[in-house]
Amino acid sequence: MQVTEAKFVKGFMKMCEDGCQMGWHERNGGNFSYRMREDETALIRENFSYEKDWAEIGTEVPDLAGEHFLVTGSGKFFGNVKTDPEGNLAVIEIDEEGTKYRILWGLKDGGVPTSELPSHLMNHQVKKKGTNGKHRVIYHCHPVHTIALTFVLPLQEEVFTRELWEMMTECPVIFPDGAAVIPWMVPGGKEIAVRSSQCMEDHDVVIWAHHGIFCSGEDFDQTFGLTHTVEKAAEILCNVLAMAPYKRQTIEPEGFRELAKEFGVNLQERFLYEK
């Protein structure tokens, strides 16, 4: 089977297109990775080439040794994935030590996987362990309203989580573990990768101040839906703050507790502080 005919590749490409339509991927902004299942790898293995050299990841991910990933390329535009997937995507393999990768398919005109590969792989390693392998998607994009809030709200996960939860009743149900927030750091290196992976141990949403958002999920729909929910809540909050410096009414802590009981989710009390 040709790579682009595989269902998971089509799903990956659709999510790239959906993100573009939302306005989350200006120019070459954002990146995206998917940890492939063994049966998916076997399905397209005939298209792989093992001629390219191994390259350093820039970090260590021993729990991902031997795994295969579908990833976006560094400097590539999400808007071009639909018309030229082989030029903008790559299937990579992780070596047996978890310190190197090699390209098996894609990036036909040259290039390397996303510059945020260390962050993606360290996040995948955490989620593979923490979800018993269920989470396979890591998605990074630049949603306008979420980024805007990092300029006006304290960069504290308790504050961000509470403010986003208050915007839509569904929010605490969809991301009950809240949203982590990382103060501005230079992207692309090991330091921010380590910080992000630490946050991913307890959250599926990690916001990079003045930059964007990372979300983790089991599949494409869940991950995109999570990102969309956070960004819509952020948009509502931006609109509220534009109208008035205060909220006349909102969801109170006891309301969140009742919601958690009704929907069977666990909401940490540190997010339910009295204002």
Mark the binding-site residues for Zn(2+), compressed into ranges.
140, 142, 211
Are the C-beta atoms of 55 and 264 separated by less than 8 Å? no
3-state secondary structure of 250: coil
Sheet holding 205-208, edge to edge: 55-56, 100-106, 89-94, 68-72, 31-35, 137-141, 212-217, 205-208, 179-182
Query: Which residues, 6 or more positions from 82, have their beta carbon under 8 angstroms from its beta carbon?
Result: 13, 16, 17
Smallest CA-to-CA distance from 116 within 95, 138, 96, 134 is with 138
Residue 170 is a catalytic residue: no
Of residues 40, 67, 93, 116, which has the active-site annotation?
116
Computed on alpha carbons and rounded to an integer, the radius of gyration of the chain in Å comes to 19
| Residues tagged in the binding site annotation | 140, 142, 211
Q: Rounded to the nearest 10 degrees, what angle do helices 190-200 and 117-130 cross at?
A: 20
Residues acting as catalytic residues: 116
